[in-house]
Chains A and B, each alone.
Chain A
């Protein structure tokens, strides 16, 4: 028997109605369009995919910043898709988020001490003195000094601000931390500092990470398993080793072949995929990747492939994944 996952998402949809149309139905944007995803306890699940494919919307729906349109979300055995605002309070303590932009996501007028203590205050944990002590402990954990506590966030560099954001996110000792592009606003030389720190914190605190990123090299480094998203759906999911060794969805293959490799002697395939990602307001019939897929057949236009196990827990949503044709 495998252990019950920490998070279990089934056929989750988040649709937005957009525009102002007086007559007829309002156009619907299918940002998240039937996601199936399990996050195991203690793992780092990487989530990759191109801009607009729905990664952030999935994360925001999972923490109930957005109301799900349909589908189920189970967190540690509890259905969280339908919890009322009041019943959400304990859940929200256990799931925290780290955002992309360390400049925009922290209030520059608050001291570091107040920023990090704020979640504790809201949750009414401890006294002001014990909270200050906790802030000092958290600062040490993320590699900052206790005397940084009285300074303002705008006095820090991007990497340091991201550390403050992380200290704030772990203040309530969450089970799950959703990292939405936590390093993409940082310089290359500073990214590695933050990634190493996230890995240390995971070991020390037993955290589970959902790590969202564009960076296909970093995601391989940090993740245990990786999900690939395209137009609102997970199209492939596998262990990091398996995904890079045996990418089985044509989109994953195109994505991996597009990564610029920092090695001038590497051989590079020609344009691995044609065209651009369609609008989430006009998702193609059948397989959503078929308009760009080099292998598309008539079947692909009429029938939507399901996300299925093609062996050893490697999931792919392509009619031909795991068959001779796809090799």
Chain B
């Protein structure tokens, strides 16, 4: 594994493999994903739609729909394998030691309960506290996530809040029991940029103050650059590249990461310079290619690429690409520093 941060990880995922089964056959959503999250760090998971980001995290929390099945792997949290725990022990960890912010309606707010009641319920489910204590804690949490007139707003219903305020309530619920790990799946995707900025600032601030670890899933490279320490780039159900955010943006090792970074316009450039898209589209996970899933779109694809899936090469920064095999041809900027 490629890991730069030392110490015991909060969460250690190994070889996670998850598929969905239907009449149409098997959809191989996650195909052997490994990564660590360390205390006090924000790990970003980035990748395009369908690359397996959400299913990776849903698998770790065992919140998959009935058609989904974890076929292999482990997820070590606090000395326990979450994938082997029984449901009772697991539900004690979910929403307690691991906080979650999902866009998925299953885990979002209940429209028939006041937001205060929903926070109080979460606290009472996991903590020995009186209602009054839970209520006081709820007010404290609303203040923490900067909801104005916190005490009054406890009585409001979700529909009485704006999108940004609802996301603050979701964060308050996720933080209710002082989690050691917060998993946030696209927490700002539905929000406007000015509100997104407020929520990202809040997340970063809370993470530093509470010292928790965060997994932030997004497809927005800007958001990744803005708040994460280390990132995992996913494609076709696999980790394609991983490393510290600065190194990875400065010297992407993987052709997919490079393509992704090159395809977004540079905000500082107003010359109408032509964009550099990645040709083609992502693979269908019902029929994933045998070799590297990026082969059909990769400008450097070699015979070996279609034949065999490459392993991850590298140390603190690593990439799943044959170009990093010691015998591979040299390509400027990828496995060779440009002259």
Binding site for B on A (CB under 8 A): 50-51, 157-160, 187-193, 195-196, 199, 214, 216-218, 220-222, 240-241, 244, 254-255, 257-266, 268, 270-273, 276-277
Q: Distance in Å from the Cβ of A86 to the closest Cβ of chain B?
A: 40
Q: Using Cβ atoms and an 8 Å threshold, which residues of chain B touch A272?
A: 194, 197
Q: Using Cβ atoms and an 8 Å threshold, which residues of chain B touch A188?
A: 48, 219, 221, 260, 263-264
Query: For the complex, what is the distance from the CA of A303 to the CA of B115, rounded to whole Å?
Result: 38
Is A214 touching B225 in the complex (CB atoms < 8 A)? Answer: no
Query: For the complex, what is the distance from the CA of A192 to the CA of B246, rounded to whole Å?
Result: 24
* B299 interface residue (CB < 8 Å to A): no
Residue of A nearest to B263 (CB): A192
How many residues of B are in contact with the other chain, CB < 8 A? 46
Q: Using Cβ atoms and an 8 Å threshold, which residues of chain A touch B282?
A: 187, 189
- 17 A-B pairs within 8 Å (CB atoms) are namely A50-B194, A188-B219, A188-B260, A195-B275, A196-B275, A216-B267, A220-B267, A244-B270, A255-B193, A260-B222, A260-B223, A261-B267, A262-B221, A263-B225, A266-B225, A271-B198, A273-B194
Q: Using Cβ atoms and an 8 Å threshold, which residues of chain B touch A193?
A: 277-279
Interface residues of B in 264-312 (CB under 8 A from A): 264-267, 269-270, 272-279, 281-282
* B261 interface residue (CB < 8 Å to A): yes
Is B263 touching A160 in the complex (CB atoms < 8 A)? Answer: no
With A196-B275, A216-B193, A221-B275 known as contacts, the answer to whether A262 contacts B264 (CB < 8 A) is yes
* B220 interface residue (CB < 8 Å to A): yes
Q: Using Cβ atoms and an 8 Å threshold, which residues of chain A touch B249?
A: 262-264
Q: Using Cβ atoms and an 8 Å threshold, which residues of chain A touch B90?
A: none
Query: For the complex, what is the distance from the CA of A189 to the CA of B261, rounded to whole Å?
Result: 9
With A264-B249, A265-B246 known as contacts, the answer to whether A187 contacts B49 (CB < 8 A) is yes
Residue of B nearest to A262 (CB): B221
Main secondary structure of the interface of A (DSSP, over half): helix
Q: Using Cβ atoms and an 8 Å threshold, which residues of chain A touch B29?
A: none
Is A260 touching B226 in the complex (CB atoms < 8 A)? Answer: yes
Q: Distance in Å from the Cβ of A294 to the closest Cβ of chain B?
A: 13
Query: For the complex, what is the distance from the CA of A257 to the CA of B44, rounded to whole Å?
Result: 22
Q: Distance in Å from the Cβ of A216 to the closest Cβ of chain B?
A: 7
Is A261 touching B226 in the complex (CB atoms < 8 A)? Answer: yes
Of B259, B272, B281, which is within 8 A of A221 by CB?
A: B272
Q: Distance in Å from the Cβ of B237 to the closest Cβ of chain A?
A: 15
* B114 interface residue (CB < 8 Å to A): no
Q: Using Cβ atoms and an 8 Å threshold, which residues of chain A touch B201?
A: 270-271
Query: For the complex, what is the distance from the CA of A307 to the CA of B282, rounded to whole Å?
Result: 45
Q: Using Cβ atoms and an 8 Å threshold, which residues of chain A touch B221?
A: 188, 262
Residue of A nearest to B193 (CB): A258
Query: For the complex, what is the distance from the CA of A275 to the CA of B279, rounded to whole Å?
Result: 41
Q: Using Cβ atoms and an 8 Å threshold, which residues of chain A touch B67?
A: none
Residue of B nearest to A157 (CB): B281
Residue of B nearest to A277 (CB): B192
Is A258 touching B194 in the complex (CB atoms < 8 A)? Answer: yes
Q: Distance in Å from the Cβ of B156 to the closest Cβ of chain A?
A: 14
Q: Distance in Å from the Cβ of A27 to the closest Cβ of chain B?
A: 16
Residue of A nearest to B256 (CB): A189
Is A217 touching B260 in the complex (CB atoms < 8 A)? Answer: no
Q: Using Cβ atoms and an 8 Å threshold, which residues of chain B touch A271?
A: 197-198, 201
Residue of A nearest to B148 (CB): A275
Q: Using Cβ atoms and an 8 Å threshold, which residues of chain A touch B225?
A: 260-264, 266
Q: Using Cβ atoms and an 8 Å threshold, which residues of chain B touch A192?
A: 263-264, 275-278
Q: Distance in Å from the Cβ of A242 to the closest Cβ of chain B?
A: 9
Of A189, A195, A261, which is within 8 A of B48 by CB?
A: A189
Q: Using Cβ atoms and an 8 Å threshold, which residues of chain B touch A241?
A: 270
Q: Using Cβ atoms and an 8 Å threshold, which residues of chain B touch A189?
A: 48, 259-260, 263, 277-278, 282
11 more A-B residue pairs beyond the given contacts A188-B264, A270-B201, A272-B194, with a C-beta to C-beta distance below 8 A: A157-B281, A190-B281, A191-B263, A192-B278, A196-B275, A196-B277, A217-B222, A217-B264, A217-B265, A221-B275, A257-B197
* B27 interface residue (CB < 8 Å to A): no
* B195 interface residue (CB < 8 Å to A): yes
Query: For the complex, what is the distance from the CA of A259 to the CA of B195, rounded to whole Å?
Result: 11
Q: Using Cβ atoms and an 8 Å threshold, which residues of chain B touch A257?
A: 197
* B12 interface residue (CB < 8 Å to A): no
Q: Using Cβ atoms and an 8 Å threshold, which residues of chain B touch A218?
A: 265
Is A221 touching B265 in the complex (CB atoms < 8 A)? Answer: yes
Q: Distance in Å from the Cβ of A164 to the closest Cβ of chain B?
A: 14
Q: Using Cβ atoms and an 8 Å threshold, which residues of chain A touch B276?
A: 192
Q: Distance in Å from the Cβ of B58 to the closest Cβ of chain A?
A: 20
* B162 interface residue (CB < 8 Å to A): yes
Query: For the complex, what is the distance from the CA of A196 to the CA of B278, rounded to whole Å?
Result: 12
Q: Using Cβ atoms and an 8 Å threshold, which residues of chain A touch B246?
A: 264-265
Of A51, A196, A263, A265, which is within 8 A of B192 by CB?
A: A51
